[in-house]
Structure 1
Amino acid sequence: MLTDTKVKTAKAEERAYRLSDSEGLFVHVMPTGKKFWRLRYRIDGKEQTLTLGPYPSVGLREARMLRDNAKDLLRQGIDPNKAGKITHLLAEPQQKDNFEAVAREWYEQRKDLWRPRHAHDVIHSLERDVFPHIGHLPPGQITPRVVLHILKGIEDRGAIETAHRIRQRMSDVFVHAIATERADTDPAGIVKPALRPVIRNRQPAITDLEQAREMIAHVESCVAHPVTLLAFRLLYLTAVRPGEVRAAMWDEFHGLDSQDPVWVIPAERMKMSREHIVPLSPQAVAVVQAVRPFSSRWPHLFPNTRRPKLPMSENAIGYLINRAGYHGRHVPHGFRSTFSSNMNERFPLDHDVIELMLAHASKDKVAAAYNRALYIDRRRELASIWSRLILDGQKTVDELVSAHRRPVKI
């Protein structure tokens, strides 16, 4: 089989010659140095040749996709030389009508609805994985097989979720093309069932309450810096994301000496880009107060032991869990599943409240803003219940900080 390098470096000779690829595909190198992709096939017992296009305008991967399109027609008993579909694919489309132009038109209409980082990810993914292969082709002439070929290439590098995201973005572009009368079908929608499934909740988590308590006891018996142990405890008491604990700032905690202590995580640090209010249980407040002697002079609750102006290492809590013997069985993010499973089982009528505690997005933004305020008291109650459940039989905060270790002030 050919490679891009072999095609690119093929030199002209006195007579035209062929470099074969597979399934009848070859590149025809002319004495002038020009190169053309051609396909040999048989129909009605006669050998035929189909010109797919010039190299490098048509690259190796694209030539193979065009070969596959032609084979599809042959299986239907259609001579691709007469069907016109392949030649339409190779015809130079109007710039405003090719897939890349339609995709960028769609993107310009949507990008103001997205966060800048997400908008960049959308267009960059198309520029990286789609435009080089079909950007110059009319969307109305792109087949499901071509789309699937692109997506399978993404899957083959292990990026299963990326393949699904790009498929959705391609589908949106095709729908836009249909709406603007530049396509009749959505081939990206058709191929969805042919992709490998995305396995959700892939991060290991211990959700059984008794097993979770046992795991916590083992972890908190490890010799470790008090700051790391306290960060670990605040993580499982609040069920926030590990990065939110790691980067917690002192000025985010309010009313620690009052009846209504809260941790207000700013929008820029939240996955859903909205401020998240975490009502603190008395046990969580005790953790925050316990870490004060170690870090109150620094911006972060849990500073890096070597560079205290920075937050603790993103791997510190994970390494602590691994040292306790739970590598591959539980990760820091897994406490969100532990909390969700147990609290939803005990309080099924509070499912929406529990979702708010986990900072999961609501489709109704007005209702979400209203509910965040409406359920604050119930969220505080559930936070206290959870703290009592998960801490049953565990060390006190004082024991956690002092037992079997010598606190080192930062």
Structure 2
Amino acid sequence: MALTDTAIRAAKPAEKPVKLFDEKGLYLELSPAGGKWWRLKYRFGGKEKRISLGTYPDVGLKQARERRDEARKLLADGIDPGEHRKAQKAAGEERAANSFEVVAREWYAKMAATWVPSHGEKIIRRLERDIFPWLGRKPVGDIGSPELLATIRKIEDRGRLETAHRALQNCSQVFRYAIATGRAERDPAADLRGALPPVRETHFAAITDPKEVAGLLRAIDGFTGTFIVKAALQLSPLVFVRPGELRRARWESIDLDAGEWRYFVTKTASDHLVPLSTQAVAILRELQPLTGRNQWVFPGMRDHQKPMSEAAINAALRRMGYDTKAEMTGHGFRAMARTILHEELGFDPAVIEHQLAHQVPDALGTAYNRTKFIKERRQMMQRWADYLDKLKAGADVIEMPTKGAA
């Protein structure tokens, strides 16, 4: 007789397993501990076999019969239900192992050692926030261009167009890694070129008029904030590196006796050398007794194990009365140097661009070289520091190009 829900609920366990049979090979097995398992007995290839169809009451009588019927359909098609289930499980595990998030984190782990920590942190946060929630569980080889674009559009719709471009670039890197490791056949991001509007180029606010520069330098000398931030402000115009590179400067990278600062530029993936003027060395020597035992030249105010906050320089400029959106930013010291070094001091733009660590190929197609124009760059950095001193002192500076300048 067929089973009923009443009979199942009334069934009691015994010292040995008890089997309550339904129809067409389906039965419920009661264990001595009280567990109730649905099982299907069938024959395949001349052998008697069994498969589990779930536990009662999670799987009720009606659902157990539906699962039985599905298994019998497989048998009618010459497929062993047990082997079919193993194949499905293996395929599911393989798909999970090859999900976009798994592959992306594997790619990130391999690449992170080649990036500065802050760069790597931004990439993984971007993926975790904007990509994984929608694509993370999907097999990397199954993701198509429309699906990827829909995810990237969510970032664009928040008004973060530049982040959308960066996220698309990171996804492309993950897909290319998946191709290289045999888990995908193509990069769907490649089909999305031109799908996003271009990012409008924005220029950082910068003071480039020598008279206004003089006022800024005097304001920096009169800054009443912390000694560490003041030193960073004083050094900013002398070295005109990217703000992130300045705040992450390490003492181990600086040779005060040689007057050199060497570090790796993440943005251009190249080593960089900054010749230090005597004025820059003097600032660093004065700072060294305070922070020299720390790895960071400019450690954070609250946590000395981290570098100075990325907002510290701009906050100091605002405290001095400068509008960081319209007048001057920490990044603006680069534009200041580039403009005045060429227009006022007459230095060769190629020398300036190399000191800015820009990737500007020359006639032979070679990109930035940290030692190229090094003699001219040393002379330029010292003349630049001397020029700034004269501006700050209020001298009527008229510079003429000399050897090393254009």
Q: Report the alpha carbon displacement of residue 380 of structure 1 after superposing the two structures with TM.
A: 0.5
1:216 corresponds to: 217
Contact 2:251–2:292 under 8 Å retained in 1: no
- Of 283, 288, 298, the match for 2:284: 288
**Aligned residue type for 1:340:** R
Query: Partners of 1:196 and 1:231 in 2: how far apart?
Result: 37
1:263 corresponds to: 260
Query: Partners of 1:183 and 1:336 in 2: how far apart?
Result: 43
Contact 1:239–1:339 under 8 Å retained in 2: yes
1:242–1:134 distance in 2 versus 1, CA, 3 Å:
closer
2:73 corresponds to: none
Contact 2:244–2:310 under 8 Å retained in 1: yes
1:193-245 deviation digits (Å, cap 9, x = unpaired):
34243344454333444433333334434445555433312111111233544
1:115 corresponds to: 113
The aligned runs of 1:121-136 (5 Å cut-off) are 125-126=126-127, 128-134=129-135
Query: Partners of 1:233 and 1:171 in 2: how far apart?
Result: 41
Q: Report the alpha carbon displacement of residue 395 of structure 1 after superposing the two structures with TM.
A: 4.2
RMSD of aligned residue pairs (Cα, Å): 4.9
Q: Report the alpha carbon displacement of residue 332 of structure 1 after superposing the two structures with TM.
A: 1.6
Q: Secondary structure at the match of 2:320?
A: helix
Query: Partners of 2:122 and 2:338 in 1: how far apart?
Result: 30
Query: Partners of 2:373 and 2:334 in 1: how far apart?
Result: 19
Q: Report the alpha carbon displacement of residue 110 of structure 1 after superposing the two structures with TM.
A: 8.7
1:100–1:156 distance in 2 versus 1, CA, 3 Å:
farther
Worse-matched range after superposition: 212-221 or 113-122: 113-122
Identity of aligned residues (%): 32
**Aligned residue type for 2:259:** V
1:275–1:191 distance in 2 versus 1, CA, 3 Å:
closer
The aligned runs of 1:215-364 (5 Å cut-off) are 215-224=216-225, 228-246=229-247, 248=249, 252-256=253-257, 261-267=258-264, 276-291=272-287, 295=290, 299=294, 315-327=311-323, 328=325, 329-343=327-341, 349-351=348-350, 353-360=351-358
Q: Report the alpha carbon displacement of residue 289 of structure 1 after superposing the two structures with TM.
A: 4.4
Contact 1:99–1:134 under 8 Å retained in 2: no
1:306-343 deviation digits (Å, cap 9, x = unpaired):
88898666544333311222122212222122223443
1:242–1:119 distance in 2 versus 1, CA, 3 Å:
closer
Contact 1:98–1:135 under 8 Å retained in 2: no
**Aligned residue type for 1:263:** E
Query: Partners of 2:271 and 2:259 in 1: how far apart?
Result: 12
Any gaps of 5 or more consecutive residues in structure 2?
1-58, 60-88, 395-406
**Aligned residue type for 2:234:** R
TM-score when normalising by structure 2? 0.54
The answer as to 2:161 corresponding to 1:163 is no
- Of 372, 375, 378, the match for 2:376: 378
1:199–1:219 distance in 2 versus 1, CA, 3 Å:
farther
* Larger relative contact order (CA 8 Å, sep ≥ 6): 1
Any gaps of 5 or more consecutive residues in structure 1?
1-31, 33-91, 397-410
Worse-matched range after superposition: 231-240 or 173-182: 173-182
How many pairs does the alignment contain? 296
Query: Partners of 2:110 and 2:300 in 1: how far apart?
Result: 37
1:256-314 deviation digits (Å, cap 9, x = unpaired):
4xxxx4233455x976676543211233234334556x737754665678888986665
Contact 2:168–2:189 under 8 Å retained in 1: yes
1:388 corresponds to: 386
2:51 corresponds to: none
**Aligned residue type for 2:322:** Y
1:248–1:136 distance in 2 versus 1, CA, 3 Å:
closer
Contact 2:103–2:178 under 8 Å retained in 1: no
Structure showing greater radius of gyration is: 2
TM-score when normalising by structure 1? 0.53
Contact 2:100–2:137 under 8 Å retained in 1: no
Contact 1:298–1:308 under 8 Å retained in 2: no
Contact 1:295–1:303 under 8 Å retained in 2: no
Query: Partners of 1:311 and 1:302 in 2: how far apart?
Result: 6
Contact 1:343–1:354 under 8 Å retained in 2: yes
